[in-house]
Amino acid sequence: MKRLLQIEFIKLWNNRASRILIIAYFILLTFIALFATINFDIGEVHFQLADQGIFNFPYIWHFNTYIAAFFKLFLAIVIVSMMSNEYSNKTIKQNLIDGLSKKEFILSKFLTVVVFSVISTVFIFVVSLVLGLFYSDYNEFSIIFSDLEYLIAFFVKLLGFFSFCLFLGIFVKRSAFALGFLILWQVFEGIFYGLVRWQTDGNIANSISQFLPLSAMSNLIKEPFSRLNAVQSVANQIGESYIKDYGVHWYEILIVLLWTYLFIYLSYALLKKRDL
Amino acid sequence: METILTVKNLTKKFNFLTAVNDLSFTIEKGNVYGILGPNGSGKSTTLGIVLNVVNKTNGDFFWFDGNTSTHQALKKVGAIIERPNFYPYMTAVQNLKLVCKIKDVPDSKIEEKLELVGLLDRKDSNFRTYSLGMKQRLAIASALLNDPEILILDEPTNGLDPQGIHQIREIIKKIASTGTTILLASHLLDEVEKVCSHVIILRKGVKLYSGRVDEMIASHGFFELKAGNEKALIDLLHNNPAFGSIKNENGLITAFLNEPMDATTFNEFLFKNGIILSHLVKRKESLEEQFLALTKNQSN
């Protein structure tokens, strides 16, 4: 396993574009801290985002994982190209001839994806913990370490998404087209949801589309904004009360894990079946 | 003798095209093999199958004694097929380090192998800056990193300039002289003739011949002769059952042997019969002549 990771590390780290994107990704993750400095001064009202409770434990776990997940697109580019470059450079052929089995090849890519997801999760854990300790109104141990399931959801979300990218890279073989396909798929899921909703109703559309890969991944961490105290109180004043389930559910995690398995399995099956 | 590769009834079909048809052969340790055939005769496909990058349709093959999986066996094999494939953004040394990791060997031999192919002074240049000849030589260095049991080369001189071709051939000869088994696929007959002891001839995916190069055609060779009295010489040869066909091209008489005979005996025989030669050469058919004869026979 160490050998496979080393192989992939040599390939990735010596590629300048990948290296820059990876570094940029982690720098951007730390920029979440910049939310703390957002200030508005509207006449008498002095507004600082950090004071609105977004960095309160345990809400911060929800908020930060949700925001951080947007940056996954940077790593998506790295992952798609690390797969499709093997095809365009024909190095996949040489790797196999040199004695890497097809299983090891897929495994080395998948392990890299797992490592990316783990490091991202640990990273966001540390950044959130530090931010929280600075700004949170509650600093009791039990509160700090509650709602940690958002980190699990974050990890699974990245794992599923990166596995999807891996599969697209192997399936399409060209990085630009693979990324285009990713966007196309997102549009497809949107249209599908719209069609079902149009024919039936929102509940049925939701319950069907939650099984689609990208919808399943985005369902893992719901938007945290309407959960903010400020927003809640505004909503209450205009007579609208939000009763929304913000939790992370085991079946949502299961759906994404099943997709992950499917993507990796399909990548392997595709590689096995193809002549290079 | 130790067997390195056994191929049994191997068949590969691409839709309706049969690229390799019921092919069987074995590769023994210590010999230099050539796979010979025109373009599209299934050479690369065969190599692709035994190297785990092309799926077979039927038949079987195994490496060594058949107890190791293909990818484990490939760690003891060095192979280059078609174009050299490396990561363009990495230097020669970085690329070779990666190959060492894949083959599970220590990277202590990198310098030595780069020296062998004459790339030591360019070891820290990116692969993309290399000329085709240098790329091909790097590929050979990479294939040698594990001191392989067998070196497989598919058209190693394709697309190179005369100097590059010469360099590659010198390297191959150097490697062959160390006793490494070599399997060389090529459509260039003189290339195979120069380095190979055994040959496998393919045409449209079918094996026409496999065995030693010098036993390819059951022939005892021929004499090329010149003499003052041509007519007497030709008459004499016609009356000798040891000779088959006799050709006369602008005074150069070619007499094909039906049975073994050395030049001394033959010269003595002629001298006793009063014919004095001005030119006597004993030759065997070149690989090219044999190859053409063989492919011609089969196409009828």
ipTM over 0.90: no
In this complex, do A14 and B90 lie within 8 Å of one another by their Cβ atoms? yes
Is residue B292 one of the residues assigned to a domain? Answer: no
Highest mean predicted confidence (pLDDT) among A53-67, B99-113, B259-273? B99-113
pLDDT average, residue stretch B143-166:
88
Q: Which domain holds residue B208?
A: 3-215
In this complex, do B102 and A10 lie within 8 Å of one another by their Cβ atoms? no
Q: Are residues B208 and B62 in the same domain?
A: yes
Q: Chain B contact for A20, CB < 8 A?
A: no
Residue B297, pLDDT > 70, answer no
Upper half-sphere CA count for residue B81 (Cβ side, 13 Å) = 23
Is residue B288 one of the residues assigned to a domain? Answer: no
Provide the shortest C-alpha distance from residue A220 to chain B (in Å).
37
Residue ending a domain, choose from B187, B215, B243: B215
Q: Are residues B171 and B114 in the same domain?
A: yes
Between B251 and A47, residue with greater pLDDT: B251
**Which pLDDT score, from 0 to 100, does residue B130 have?**
93
Nearest Cα residue to B73 out of A269, A100, A3 = A100
Q: Chain B contact for A1, CB < 8 A?
A: no
Count contacts between A and B (CB, < 8 Å).
78
Please state, in angstroms and rounded to a whole number, the distance separating the CA atoms of residues B107 and B98: 9
| pLDDT in single tens digits along all 276 residues of chain A | 899 999 999 999 999 999 999 999 999 888 877 776 676 677 776 767 767 777 888 888 998 899 899 999 989 999 999 999 999 999 999 999 998 999 999 999 999 999 999 999 999 999 999 888 888 888 888 888 888 899 999 999 999 999 999 999 999 999 899 999 999 999 999 999 999 988 888 888 888 888 999 999 998 998 888 777 667 777 677 766 656 788 888 999 999 999 999 999 999 999 999 988
In this complex, do B101 and A6 lie within 8 Å of one another by their Cβ atoms? yes
Q: Are residues B195 and B227 in the same domain?
A: no
Domain count, chain A: 1
Point out the residue among B53, B88, B99 whose CB comes nearest to the CB of A276.
B53
**CB within 8 A of A170, min separation 6: which ones?**
A83, A84, A87, A267, A270, A271
Which residues in A lie closer than 8 A to residue B87 (C-beta atoms)? 11, 14-15, 89, 91
**Which pLDDT score, from 0 to 100, does residue A242 have?**
59
Q: Which domain holds residue A228?
A: 2-273
* pLDDT tens profile B32-79: 899 988 888 888 899 999 998 999 999 999 999 888 888 889 999 999
Is residue B300 one of the residues assigned to a domain? Answer: no
Instruction: Locate the chain A residue with the closest alpha carbon to B144.
Output: A98
Which of B74, B77, B98, B110 to mutate to probe the A interface, most A CBs <10 Å?
B98
Q: Chain B contact for A97, CB < 8 A?
A: yes
Which amino acid, A50? Answer: A
Q: Are residues B113 and B241 in the same domain?
A: no
Provide the shortest C-alpha distance from residue A98 to chain B (in Å).
6
Which residues in B lie closer than 8 A to residue A9 (C-beta atoms)? none
Q: Are residues B157 and B15 in the same domain?
A: yes
Q: Are residues B51 and B168 in the same domain?
A: yes
Q: Chain B contact for A23, CB < 8 A?
A: no
- pLDDT grade, residue B300 (50/70/90)? very low
Q: Are residues B185 and B242 in the same domain?
A: no
User: 3-state DSSP helix/strand/coil percent for chain B, to nearest 5?
Assistant: 35, 30, 30
What b/e readout covers A250-261, taking b as 16+ CB neighbours within 10 angstroms? eebbebbeebbe
Q: Are residues B35 and B133 in the same domain?
A: yes
Q: Which residue has the tokens 């982690």?
A: A26
Is residue B289 one of the residues assigned to a domain? Answer: no
Is residue B297 one of the residues assigned to a domain? Answer: no
Does the pTM surpass 0.90? The reply is no
Q: What is the CATH number of the domain that holds B156?
A: 3.40.50.300
Domain count, chain B: 2
User: Judging by DSSP bridges, how do beta strands B77-80 and B17-28 pair with one another?
Assistant: unpaired
Point out the residue among A6, A10, A91 whose CB comes nearest to the CB of B85.
A91
Point out the residue among B72, B87, B97 whose CB comes nearest to the CB of A91.
B87
Instruction: Locate the chain A residue with the closest alpha carbon to B94.
Output: A10
Q: Are residues B73 and B135 in the same domain?
A: yes
Which of B13, B49, B71 to mutate to probe the A interface, most A CBs <10 Å?
B71
Which of A2, A85, A92, A97 to mutate to probe the B interface, most B CBs <10 Å?
A97
Residue ending a domain, choose from B215, B238, B270: B215
